[in-house]
């Protein structure tokens, strides 16, 4: 099943993708006794609702052509967006400038503000604060059932599904003062710019992705292939990330975990190649669709 959100920005409603149409989820749930469920609540109840939703959406009379509606971020209001930094060996190696570079003993945990999420087709606005805006194509794991100290063996019970995400990073904001001291890295500042977390085009439920570690992950910038790897490159796999993160952070329904990126980011091109207004990104992950994002420059104020 593919879950979407649709409608105006910051006022999206949950829906289900059926062929090339969106079936609004609200009316289907109301007829089954559920009212006022937002996307996060639907994800929390997905083990109980999914079969009913699939049956009802297949026969639904109300369908909106995808071409005639704006798709928003599949999870419009996540409580948390959690980044697992340095989780692909190829990316660690390119950042270190050598093969088999040391990887962290535990996943690096960084938070992106939850209001940075945008949908497929929405513009990524290059902040006037940065001249080094970079892309990172990532598999996003969406939490259904929340929890604290989730053991590895039960981690998948807490996964609602998967989607494509872009962990946008302003490299110059991240590392401006690290030459003074490593503790001066500004990762939250670099990853927190508005519109800096494109997601979508939909959330694919866990049952449709048997192995999230066997997916091809690619990114094009203006038609040029920049990233081409596989999720098997993860240093810490999805159950390991959930176990490790939930030891220190209580997870909630709708939380989004970004699982790392492969080699090929703009900072490590020769010469480096960053994003500016007029550029266009295309990201693909096996089974999860296509996420296309235009880049626009922030209007000076």
Q: List the domain boundaries for the chain.
A: 2-68, 81-297
**Section 271-285 average pLDDT:** 98
pLDDT value at 300 more than 70: no
User: Average pLDDT of 150-169?
Assistant: 98
Mean pLDDT of the chain: 94
pTM over 0.75: yes
- 63-90: per-residue pLDDT in tens? 999 999 999 999 999 999 999 988 998 8
Sequence-separated (6 or more) residues with CB below 8 Å from residue 225: 218, 219
pLDDT tens by residue, 109-131: 999 999 999 999 999 999 999 99
Q: Which residue has the higher pLDDT, 177 or 40?
A: 40
Q: What is the DSSP letter of 88?
A: B
Cα distance between residue 256 and residue 279, in whole Å: 26
State which CATH number among 3.90.850.10, 3.90.1170.20, 3.40.980.10, 3.40.190.80 fits the domain covering 81-297: 3.90.850.10
Parallel, antiparallel, or unpaired: how do β-strands 216-221 and 169-170 relate? unpaired
Question: Has residue 281 got a pLDDT over 80?
Answer: yes
Cα gap 204→37, rounded to integer Å: 19
130-147 confidence digits (pLDDT tens): 999 999 999 999 999 999
């Amino acid at each position: 099943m593919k879950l979407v959100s649709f409608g105006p920005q910051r006022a999206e409603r949950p829906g289900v993708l059926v062929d090339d149409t969106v079936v609004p989820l609200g009316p289907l749930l109301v007829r089954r006794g559920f009212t006022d469920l937002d996307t996060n609540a639907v994800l929390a109840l997905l083990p109980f609702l999914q079969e009913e939703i699939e049956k009802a959406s297949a026969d639904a009379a109300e369908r909106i052509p995808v071409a005639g509606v704006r798709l928003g971020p599949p999870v419009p209001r996540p409580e948390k967006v959690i980044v697992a930094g340095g989780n692909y060996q190829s990316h660690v190696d390119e950042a270190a400038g050598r093969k088999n570079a040391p990887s962290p003993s535990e996943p690096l945990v960084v938070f992106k503000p939850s209001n940075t999420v945008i949908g497929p087709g929405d513009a990524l606005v290059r902040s006037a604060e940065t001249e080094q805006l970079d892309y990172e194509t990532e598999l996003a794991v969406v939490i259904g059932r929340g929890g604290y100290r989730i053991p590895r063996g039960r981690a998948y019970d807490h996964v609602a599904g998967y989607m494509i995400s872009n962990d946008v990073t302003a490299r110059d904001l991240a590392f401006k003062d690290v030459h003074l001291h490593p503790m001066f890295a500004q990762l939250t500042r670099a990853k927190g710019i508005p519109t800096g977390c494109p997601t979508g085009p939909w959330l694919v439920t866990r049952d449709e992705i048997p192995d999230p570690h066997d997916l091809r992950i690619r990114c094009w910038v203006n038609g040029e292939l920049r990233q081409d790897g596989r999720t098997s490159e993860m240093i810490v796999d999805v159950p390991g990330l959930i176990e490790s993160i939930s030891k220190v952070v209580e997870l909630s329904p709708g939380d989004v975990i970004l699982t790392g990126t492969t080699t090929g980011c703009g900072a490590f091109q020769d010469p480096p190649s960053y994003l500016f207004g007029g550029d266009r990104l295309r990201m693909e992950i096996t089974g999860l669709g296509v996420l296309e994002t235009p880049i626009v420059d922030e209007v000076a104020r």
